[in-house]
Chain A
């Protein structure tokens, strides 16, 4: 056996909480050899971040860490804190998930970099000023030479990560875009010329295109230096393409490990196979995607058997009661699974294994198979009379009792439900009252001359990177903002700001926000959250009660969830609750703002399925806003591509996704699929996208 640079054995991380012990990491083992790039993959809540923190020795007293972490022959678990600190300063660097939050807001990029350089130069030095450059202005800084030298080195480091050193040194973190901030984090990580790089979801919080750029950059930097890297991500495929070996973790344990190519092509563990099957590409638009049902097990409960057993289609009684054996596959790595049938006959990933995973477990996520769909549609039609109130929202008819749910009072054929005509929104750059008095003429055009239309029951996808004006369009549609010029019409009638809209118009547009967790009040139970719009609409309590039950069923939850609070739900469940709330009054149109951006791949597939199913049953129109052309291409009928406030390309989803007109769209497509573009856009174009 070769000596590994990093070797983690039976790592356990536990947090003692009021609801019992949380076993974040539960016997994880992995090793990274010098010069190797290893991917650590698993859904969120699988203890990946806790493991990274344990390796870097960043856990505080509240965490109990067990097992061994050997780095370069030293057992880090037994090393004194001071030694660990010096290792972090010189040999082990960590890049975290949220780039904007990991830079100190009160210090410039340059001061961050100089600090790291100082530390790396003199790791044993502990005096405040020499370490941080923290100067109260009391004394002259000794050694101006060294300092200006460090400034040059800092600038060079920034140049290295594709940022203009002289420009960025004096910027504060809030003056950076997400991609720029992550580049700075990379520069910081590389400043000490480390031997090991721990990258914890370095791109998850970024735009799809920026994600690609940063990953490419990371790739380049790593291969340039032959840097040993542990790359953590929830996206198996994305990581697989960039790593030599992949470790798949589930519920804090290693499920499967092996060469990236082998794991991706012939996954031996059912969990790996299921994860791979959740990918969007390859699926026909609108088709039901395979998902991994259920969710990661509650980390407070201890399971004797395989943690994946409850979601595994191959699970036997043995799996549930006995710890799964680990099989050594020689060069192919190892896999922890007791069910020989599942792992002995590996099948192509996306075809059958994933399918099994979904159909094998009944009563999980809603609308995964036809039976579920059928029963749901019955529920809806039976209760149709009761639901009809909300339909009035879309129409001229204000009479609630008349329209049954199937006969939606939509505008006549051909007339769009929602129409934006030459809509522009500009914000003054200087908004002070003096400027207003003077009548300033400096504006930014957030949205410029945009025309869009959505038909009833149709899905319009709006795609673009951050800053393209997508959010402004949403605000205009939902009435949180008024257009500077142009018209917005709902069912043929112009609508203004929220305050000018009739009750029906307000009710007929629902909205789903990007971050499911933060869009729900943490103190409100699910029932109250969904009830709110109903109470506002003047429903009686018994009718509300029925409607809530119905809505929960509709989004694939059940009445048990009604009394939970958001922190007792998973991310996917929160998104379902938020969706139930948006649909409570049966809007004719729902605006979905990045509904899947904050979710895991497997959960994303569930939510996509849910949306497709809902649209079929409720016949409501969606405006789907996302930076991920993959999701939009899957769900939308029409697509509008936005950039800098303009619509640069619009058309049917099939055309935009298969035969894009503009280089910009092509690039978004590439980013979505995660595969390098065979005909990359010209470099100039590439640059301008980078630094937007």
Chain B
């Protein structure tokens, strides 16, 4: 419990830092939101008076630190601001777009884990045989292939040629398959290699030998004695890969035209829609922190030696 409190404390600090940095970066990028937004609204170059009025209205004329403080003050009260484009409250936008991204991230991690663990285990157990080599080559391909390219390949193959899956959009499970595979492949490849090397290392441990000496069948050795320890680095990796998934989601969502956080963010950046950029960043940061906390908690479940309360041994 105490551990959780401590972790929440440090997470808050991390989030605070993340928002501050994005706030600064967004304002450093060239392009004035007032002009961009007004040009969009009015369909022509806005007058200087309109620009000043917009800045005053949105508080953009204040010094940057003060703007940030206002924003963070509002956030603490549960107000993430409104989009400059009148699309409504940022919070509502996030709530509308988040499920699609969660769906995509979850499905791709699932794909990755479902492929990586069996492939890695088989690869490790049959080390040095053709099975191992084939799985290694596939893993190498998976790592090397860029998301957007694989995405288009899958669209051509799975959607256009075979016509099994829809080309783009979201909503049904069928819509999810191609993006999830696209995003999951790279991760699966990395994880396969990690599962393989981690398990190989664990299989060398004396306790595996000792279990073999007690007459355990090989399969039981791997599953019951080696795999759990071997999964520790894999779990950490899955947690860290979430960052990769969210980054990849930006690309994959654009490729497959899925309305998700990635697309929302990309659009907001192009349109200089500061409140939305801030909102998405905060949300993604929060997800990341939560997943990493979950990873550490999973550690304790997997390895009884890990003590969370005492700060570890």
Contact = CB atoms under 8 A, between A and B. Distances in A.
Contact of B211 (A104, A128, A172): A104
B219 A104 contact: no
Contacts of B3: 432
Interface in A124-138: 126, 128, 131-132, 134
A105 B311 contact: no
A107 interface: yes
B207 A105 contact: yes
B50 to A, nearest CB: 53
Nearest to A88: B215
Contacts of A58: 209, 212-213
A434 B205 CA distance: 37
Given A58-B212, A93-B214, A430-B310, A172 B206 contact: no
Contacts of B207: 101-105
B215 A106 contact: no
Interface string A144-162: 0000000000000000000
Interface majority SS on B: helix, strand, loop or mixed? helix
Contact of A56 (B205, B213, B219, B310): B213
A203 interface: no
A434 B311 CA distance: 12
B67 to A, nearest CB: 34
Contacts of A88: 212-215
A96 B217 contact: no
Contacts of B28: none
Given A58-B213, A90-B215, A106 B304 contact: yes
A432 B304 contact: no
B6 A96 contact: no
A106 B303 contact: yes
A96 B213 contact: yes
B228 interface: yes
Contacts of A116: 214-215
B172 interface: no
B215 A119 contact: yes
B305 A96 contact: no
A631 B215 CA distance: 40
Contacts of A87: 215
A188 interface: yes
A195 to B, nearest CB: 13
A128 B216 CA distance: 10
A172 B216 contact: no
Contacts of B229: 104-106
Contacts of B220: 126, 128, 131-132, 134
A541 to B, nearest CB: 40
B302 A106 contact: yes
A359 interface: no
Contacts of A521: none
Interface string B42-67: 00000000000000000000000000
A568 B305 CA distance: 34
Contacts of A192: 214-215
A101 B6 contact: no
A107 B227 CA distance: 12
Nearest to A97: B206
Interface in B223-270: 223-225, 228-229
Given A94-B210, A102-B210, A434-B2, A128 B224 contact: yes
B5 interface: yes
A188 B225 CA distance: 15
B215 A132 contact: no
B126 to A, nearest CB: 12
B206 A432 contact: no
B217 A85 contact: yes
Given A96-B206, A128-B224, A434 B6 contact: yes
A104 B229 CA distance: 9
Contacts of A101: 205-207
Interface in B259-313: 302-305, 309-311
Given A105-B304, A172-B305, A174-B305, A126 B217 contact: yes
A56 B211 CA distance: 12
Contacts of A172: 304-305
Given A98-B206, A119-B214, A105 B224 contact: no
26 contacts: A56-B213, A85-B216, A86-B215, A89-B214, A89-B215, A90-B215, A96-B206, A101-B206, A103-B207, A104-B208, A104-B229, A105-B305, A106-B229, A107-B225, A115-B224, A131-B217, A131-B224, A132-B216, A132-B220, A132-B224, A172-B304, A172-B305, A430-B309, A432-B2, A432-B6, A433-B6
Given A93-B213, A128-B219, A128-B220, 14 more contacts: A85-B215, A94-B214, A102-B207, A104-B208, A105-B303, A106-B304, A116-B214, A126-B220, A132-B220, A132-B225, A172-B305, A185-B210, A432-B3, A434-B5
